[in-house]
Amino acid sequence: MFTPTDEQAAAADHFTAGHHLALQAGAGTGKTSTLAFLARNTTRRGRYFAYNRAIAQEAATRFPPNVTCRTAHSLAYAALGHRYKRRLGAPRRPAWQTGQDLGITKPARVADHTLMPTTLSNTVLRTVTRFCHSADLDLADHHLPQLRGLDNPEARAELADVVIPYARKAWADLQNPDTGAVRFDPDHFLKIWSLTHPTIHADFLLLDEAQDTNPVVEHIFNSQRHHAQLVMVGDSAQAIYHWRGAKDVMSVFDGTHLTLSRSFRFGPALATEANRWLTLAEAPLRLTGSTTTPTTLGPLARPEAILCRTNVGAMRQVMNHLTAGMRVALVGGGDSLRALALAAQQLQQGRPTGHPELVLFPTWGAVQDYAAHDPSGRDLQPLVDLVDHHGTDVILAAVSRLSEEPHAEITVSTAHKAKGREWSQVQIADDFLPPPETDEHDQEGRPIPDRVDPAEARLAYVAVTRARRHLDTKGLSWIDTHPAGKPTS
């Protein structure tokens, strides 16, 4: 029997009254349970929007039959994305090759700077990506990314004169459902669908993880308010995907704003630790821990899970614990990493690879350059880091020894991939580095550290709130001596 808290009951009252709602739900406060509670108290038809397919599938087991659980991309695919099936999953292409097909074959002079074709091609594709993540109807100058040395209005205007025509040509290329020069991905058909001003047939819409919503999804969601009741839920302090185009849409949502602050995941001690990071993240939310779920803080010799700041840090933890003879699981699994490591090994040896992600690269050096400088290759950077730090033989040996999570003695994850997960005992890895020291000194002559970046504080908040019973802050313990690190209740 679900017994709602006063905050959940208040949300239900507003939902029954037909109000548009924005629920700020802290870590472990039962946001999905709250949404399911709202849905069970009505016979109206609803749709639940999840951040990814795994969350949508899990939510489908918890919601009543009157609610359909999907992702925005799946709705877009069903509506028109299936028409572009032939172009989805095409091999990667370095930006300069795509640029050549778009007609970018010569350097351009912009504000006394010579921009080579590779730079121009990168900028064109980044411009299209920024347009696809936006709610805008037309591709325009403000979708241009920032380039060093071209920051002033005059230089950006000159850059726009060069880049925007090619960006529009690239966007026109993406409209062809059968073939084209630009690599087609799901964000493209989502944007194309949004431009049709779609109507989602439902009486109410539930948007989960609203703090990580792209403006294009926000636009689709908000456009339904004239015929459907809108409810968004999320935690602004867990907005950790801004680098991927996500946007915290909750603070500007036109509706009734409510809070879920009582965490059922952990006790008061961990709530105090979480509130310290919430303060540093400049978030208004403060959590209250459950008195029936005691959580302790302190060193752990054998944690259930280790959370890392970086992919390289996660792989290092995997190899260290495998060397110690433990059964180790890596969140996300190792199959894709194994295939990519084998492909990297082939390229390092001067042999071609058939891996669809790397088939068009002639050498490992070309992959390194692509990951470092091409915006569409950002997701390959963790692989490049791992290969360059450890070598493919070491990675392959480690991946071959990974266990499935149910059979592992320890689970390793990045904080990003741990989002939405929880474990009984959690340790924070040592790759969460403190902010650098400034040139200023305190009264005792010690260097004063720089302020904690709110984005890093949000990631730390996500990491520390994954624990239920015990948390070893280890890699974040530097906050205890930071001037701004005083715990906040």
Q: Are the CB atoms for 369 and 381 separated by under 8 Å? A: no
pLDDT digits (tens, 9 = 90+) for 5-23: 999 999 999 999 999 999 9
The answer on pLDDT for 432 being more than 60 is yes
Share of the chain above pLDDT 70, in %: 96
Tokens found for residue 255 = 């509706």
pLDDT confidence of residue 213: 84
- Give, in order, the Cα–Cα distances in Å from 293 to each of 37, 426, 474, 482: 22, 15, 22, 29
Per-residue pLDDT reduced to its tens digit, 250-271: 888 999 999 999 999 999 999 9
CA–CA distance, 20 with 253 (Å, rounded to integer): 9
pLDDT, position 370: 83
pLDDT band for 36, please (50, 70, 90 cuts): very high
CA terminus-to-terminus distance, the chain: 31
Per the CB < 8 A criterion, the answer to whether 8 and 233 are in contact is no
- The residue type of 117 is P
The position carrying tokens 């809108």 is 230
For the segment 474-482, the average pLDDT, to the nearest whole number, is 93
More confident: 424 or 361? 424
Work out the angle at residue 210's Cα, subtended by the Cα atoms of residues 414 and 309, and round it to the nearest 5 degrees: 15
- For the cut 70, the answer to whether the pLDDT of residue 243 exceeds it is no
Contact between 412 and 330 (Cβ < 8 Å): yes
Query: What is the per-residue pLDDT across 276-307, written as a single tens digit (0 to 9) for each?
Result: 999 999 998 999 999 888 899 999 999 999 99
pLDDT mean over 369-383: 76
Q: Is it the case that residue 245 has pLDDT exceeding 60?
A: no
Q: Is the pLDDT of residue 364 over 70?
A: yes
**DSSP E strand stretches across 31-136:** 46-50, 67-71, 108-110, 113-115
Q: Which residue has the higher pLDDT, 248 or 380?
A: 380
Q: Is residue 336 predicted with pLDDT exceeding 70?
A: no
Q: Tell me, what's the pLDDT at 92?
A: 83
Nearest Cα residue to 237 out of 272, 269, 276: 276
**What's the confidence (pLDDT) of residue 310?**
82
Q: Which residues pair with 260 in a beta bridge?
A: 25
pLDDT of residue 134: 92
**pLDDT tens track for 412-422:** 999 998 988 99
Higher pLDDT, 442 or 165: 165
Task: Please state the rounded mean pLDDT for residues 82-98.
Answer: 90
The amino acid occupying position 292 is: T
Instruction: Indicate the pairing of strand 113-115 with strand 204-207.
Output: unpaired
Q: pLDDT (tens digit, 9 = 90+) per residue, 191-219? A: 999 999 999 999 999 998 888 888 899 99
- In this prediction, residue 87 carries a pLDDT of 94
Decide: 20 and 256 in contact? Cβ < 8 Å: yes
What's the pLDDT score for residue 449? 84
Question: CA 421: distance to chain centroid?
Answer: 14
The residues, ordered by sequence, that sit 6+ positions from 390 with a Cβ below 8 Å of its Cβ are 315, 316, 319
Q: How far apart are CA 71 and CA 216, in angstroms?
A: 13
Amino acid (one-letter) located at 106? K
- In tens, the pLDDT along 138-178 reads 999 999 988 766 778 998 999 999 999 999 999 999 999 99
Average pLDDT, integer, range 400-422: 92
Average pLDDT of the segment spanning 363-376: 84
User: Does the pLDDT of residue 224 top 90, yes or no?
Assistant: yes
Cα–Cα distance for residue pair 355/167, rounded to 1 Å = 29
Residue 200: its H or E element = none
Mean pLDDT of 435-441: 84
Alpha-carbon gap, residue 215 to 281, rounded angstroms: 22
Strands (E), 179-294: 204-207, 229-234, 256-260
Between CA 420 and CA 409 the distance in angstroms is: 21
Looking at residue 205, its pLDDT comes to 97
Rg (CA), the chain: 24
Measured in degrees and rounded to the nearest 5, phi and psi for residue 169 equal -65, -40
Assess whether pLDDT exceeds 80 at residue 247. Answer: no
Q: Which residue has the higher pLDDT, 83 or 91?
A: 83
pLDDT(64) > 60: yes
What is the pLDDT, as a whole number, of residue 436?
84
Q: How far apart are CA 46 and CA 65, in angstroms?
A: 9
The answer to which of 124-138, 316-330, 350-364, 442-456 has the lowest mean pLDDT is: 350-364
DSSP 417-451: HHTT--EEEEEE-TT-PPPPEEEEE-TTSPEEEPP
CA distance 106 to 120: 9
pLDDT of residue 174: 97
Provide the 8-state DSSP code for 211: G
Lowest mean pLDDT among 340-344, 474-478, 483-487: 483-487
Rounded mean pLDDT of the chain?
90
Q: Give me the numbers of helices (H) and strands (E) for the chain, helices first please.
A: 17, 16
Task: Determine contact, residues 250/274, Cβ cutoff 8 Å.
Answer: no
| Sole residue written with tokens 């984005």 | 455
How much is the pLDDT for 159?
93
Comparison of pLDDT for 439 and 325, the residue scoring more: 325
CA distance 384 to 29: 38
What does the pLDDT read at residue 184?
95
Can you say whether residue 476 is alpha, beta or left, with left for phi > 0 and alpha for psi between -120 and 50 degrees? alpha
Q: Which residue has the higher pLDDT, 2 or 185?
A: 185
Of 350, 381, 380, 378, residue with least CA distance to 364: 350
